[in-house]
Structure 1
Amino acid sequence: MQPKTTFLQNVKQPTTAKPSSELERLWQRIDKHTKRNANFDIKKSTLFNQFQEQVEPHEHHQASMIAEQIIHLSKFIPRKSLTAEQRNELVDWINEDLSYLAGHPFIGEVEVEKVTQIFQSHLNKHNHDTVNAIDSSQLNLLRTMLQQDFPGLELTDEDLREVAVDPQKLYKHLDEQGFGEDGNEQSDNGACDANEEHADQDENWDDFFDQFDQFDRDEIKQQKTDAKLEKLFKSSQLNKMYKRLASKLHPDKEPDPTKKAEKHELMQLLGHARKAKDGFTLLQLYITHFDDDVDFDEETRANLVPLLQNKIVELNKQHRQQKEGNDPHSLVWRKFNGRSKAQTKANFANHIAALNNECDEIAERLGYCTTIKLLKEELNDRILDKRHMPISIENALESMFNL
């Protein structure tokens, strides 16, 4: 008579063996996905190490040059000979560079906060001087303009100066004086509005109850799943396997200090698996530390299937995160990984060339753009690309008061 083949015998075979049951098939998929994710991490780390060695020094140099450019350009902000449009363009240019540095993960030792403070000090000096120079006729012009858009709005000269410095402060005054989010005064005679609001509330309540019903169904489903898992771990071979592992891995039974520390970590892992109803980790530990075989009964097998299926879902989710994450390793992978080593090498080389070109341009600009006249020429070239953009109320105020 041939010996009976059990589940744990099969999972110890090479993954090329044909699975004899759903459990073995799922286990082999888990093993395959686990190796895939581990190999992907190795590839990402290898590529990242190459990036750090070959490319990152150029990234640091570029960031340093951009910071130097910000400091240089900021000195021109208070210059009175700049037009409002030129000064706005200059400030936008500096803000773009600051945003780039703030969101860049490879800027080296560049202190973005310190660079920002230098820029802000020059901008604040200009704003302070300009606002103090606003005469009463200009304030009245601003008051008239705002009252045309917001009838009934009352602002003191001090309020107007505040708005001139920071246009966002206008919304604070609108709110204080009872203007709605759309800029219109809120009305006490809003019967139609009330009816519409009531209808919206009814619709919101319908949405709420739909969401509540879905939540209720999900909660019931989760409770049933938790009950099955609890039963699985209390009255099946998994419970026996857990107890055997706990006995074998208990650190208090190990005299060797090194092995004792290892068993302490394994016991923590085992305890977490028991608490989280993680049957996959429990099975992995059992296979690692015991050579005997277990033939699961039908109920245990049926309950193990969704556990292993969930593990596959988790591994696939992890793989997506490996590719789509915003961590430095993932960013480098998406930008530079090629279909071949030659393509990856070319990606590195092209990026380094682009960084060096930009640094050369900045160095050249810092060398020649030392007078307000030359800076104006640079700003005018940049302005030409923005002539047809719509103007906002903030831009209108900035243009009026040369902020």
Structure 2
Amino acid sequence: MKTNTTFLQNVKQQATAKPASELERLWQRIDKHTKRNANFEIKKSTLFNQFKEQVEPHEHHQARMMAEQIIHLSKFIQRKSLTIEQRNELVDWINEDLEYLSGHPFIGELEIEKVTQIFQSHLSKHNHDTVNAIDSSQLNLLRTMLQQDFPGLELTDEDLREIAVNPQKLYQHLDEQGFGEDEESDDDAFNPGNAHAEQDEDWDDFFDQFERFDRDEIKQQKTDAKLEKLFKSSQLNKMYKRLAAKLHPDKEPDPTKKAEKHELMQQLGQARKAKDGFTLLQLYITHFDDDVDFDEETKANLIPLLQNKIVELNKLHRQQKEGNDPHSLVWRKFNGRSKAQIKHNFTNHIAALNSECEEISERLGYCTTVKLLKEELNDRINNKRHMPMSFDDALESMFNF
């Protein structure tokens, strides 16, 4: 884009001191922020290309090794000599690795779905065999336990077997039989005033939010009205018509320039449709060298237009740094104050990946029997903190999953 010296000089001459200074300051900030965002994107892309060349091959190798480990460990799920706790730890271990790979953006051509299917196949067969082995006395025990918590709940033996395999099925049956509907808490039943007090607080929160929304909505409407008026001004309309005449592709014989003008014309049309006066100004200043002479009202309405653009550029910059796209993830993890620091970050990460791959390779080499796997599982169990038993854990304990 051409330097907007003529425009800024004209604004200084034609407007009063305060508006001219404000317009110039805003335009300079826009130019500064635009360059900042562009430079930041270049730095991100450069770092990402270095990562792909130096680090990503090691990421791919780690992913393949973890997939091999998942497939290897899955074969032990059906071994009857594993205790309940050991089997649970084994399944948790595999699920942790699968979750890691599923959320990893740099696993290369690894087909994680196939790895997951292998694991699910072994797990489903184990669950199927275990559920079929549940006798009637165990089912009645589960039925009694559930009916104590949910009086009147009716479940068939098949329902109970489904719940034993997947405890989430219980909530489906509770919903189907109407449990949890039209119930009030003991506190509300004891003191109805509590419910009214909470309702009053809810209404207060609602009206507070409504008032904030109303204020924001009114503020936005005022801004939109100014921008609408600015875009419909005779001056901007004249600028639009001049641009449309100059950029129209039908008047261009050269095929390359014709395609360029076609894109510019689409950009111009989109700017008019979206009432994007800033883009119109940019296009005009880029393609015309003559002075832009705005009246006082147009100059005043230009200020919110430029302020909005600054807000958009700052928002874009935050997204550049905080996004979850691969480029942003690499930037946050490996960027440093110097090239030496970035190289150090790469080296340390590669070393960690290689160390984990060596550990997996060693495990795959020696952990070929249930006895040796049990030692690994016991070490993992002992390293974990003791947590209260959940409902799912209780079911697994009852039915020896």
Query: Is 1:7–1:23's contact at 8 Å kept on the other side of the alignment?
Result: no
| Preserved CA contact (<8 Å) 1:8 1:287 | no
Structure 1's 304 and 351: CA in aligned 2 closer, same or farther, altered over 3 A?
Answer: same
Instruction: Map residues 131-170 of structure 1 onto 2, 5 A cutoff.
Output: 131-170=131-170
**Does the CA contact (< 8 Å) of 1:8 and 1:293 recur in 2?**
no
**1: CA distance between counterparts of 2:356 and 2:84?**
28
From 288, 307, 315, the counterpart of 2:305: 307
1:322, CA displacement in angstroms? Answer: 0.4
Structure 1 match to 2:395: 397
Give the total of aligned pairs. Answer: 388
Distance 1:121 1:27 in 2: 62
Task: Evaluate the alpha carbon distance shift between residue 41 and residue 255 of structure 1 in structure 2; reply closer, same or farther with a 3 A threshold.
Answer: same
* 2: CA distance, partners of 1:197 / 1:255: 76
Pairwise mapping of residues 58-207 of structure 1 onto structure 2 (< 5 A)?
A: 58-180=58-180, 200-201=198-199, 203-207=201-205
Give the deviation of 1:7 after TM superposition: 3.4
> Residue 283 of structure 2 corresponds to which residue in structure 1?
285
Please report the TM-score for the alignment, with normalisation by the length of structure 1.
Answer: 0.90
One-letter identity of the residue aligned with 1:118: I
Deviations 1:336-373 (Å, cap 9, x if unpaired)?
Answer: 01110000001000000000000000000000000000
Pairwise mapping of residues 234-273 of structure 1 onto structure 2 (< 5 A)? 234-273=232-271
The answer as to 2:343 corresponding to 1:378 is no
Alpha-carbon separation, structure 1, partners of 2:195 and 2:176: 23
Q: Is the 8 A contact 1:236 1:300 kept in 2?
A: no
Shift of 1:197: 5.3
Q: Which residue of 2 aligns with 1:356?
A: 354
Give 1:231's aligned residue. Answer: 229
Cα offsets for 1:78-132 (capped at 9, x unmatched): 1100011000000000000000000000001111111111000100111111111
Name the CA shift for 1:193/1:73 in 2 (closer, same or farther; >3 Å): farther
Distance 1:158 1:283, change over 3 A: same
Alpha-carbon deviations, 1:167-194, whole Å to 9, x = none? 1111222233332289xx779xx96687
Distance 2:59 2:98 in 1: 15
Give unmatched runs, 5+ long, in structure 1: 12-18
8 Å Cα contact 1:6/1:293 also seen in 2: yes
Do the aligned residues in 2 keep the contact of 1:229 with 1:303 (CA within 8 Å)?
A: yes
Aligned-partner residue type, residue 136 of structure 2: S
2:15 alignment partner in structure 1 = none
Unaligned stretches of 5+ residues in structure 2:
12-18
Q: Counterparts of 1:104 and 1:194 in 2: how far apart (Å)? A: 51
Aligned partners of 2:47, 2:278: CA distance in 1, in Å?
31
Q: TM-score w.r.t. structure 2 length? A: 0.90
The Cα of 1:386 is off from its aligned counterpart by 2.7
Q: Report the aligned-residue RMSD.
A: 2.4
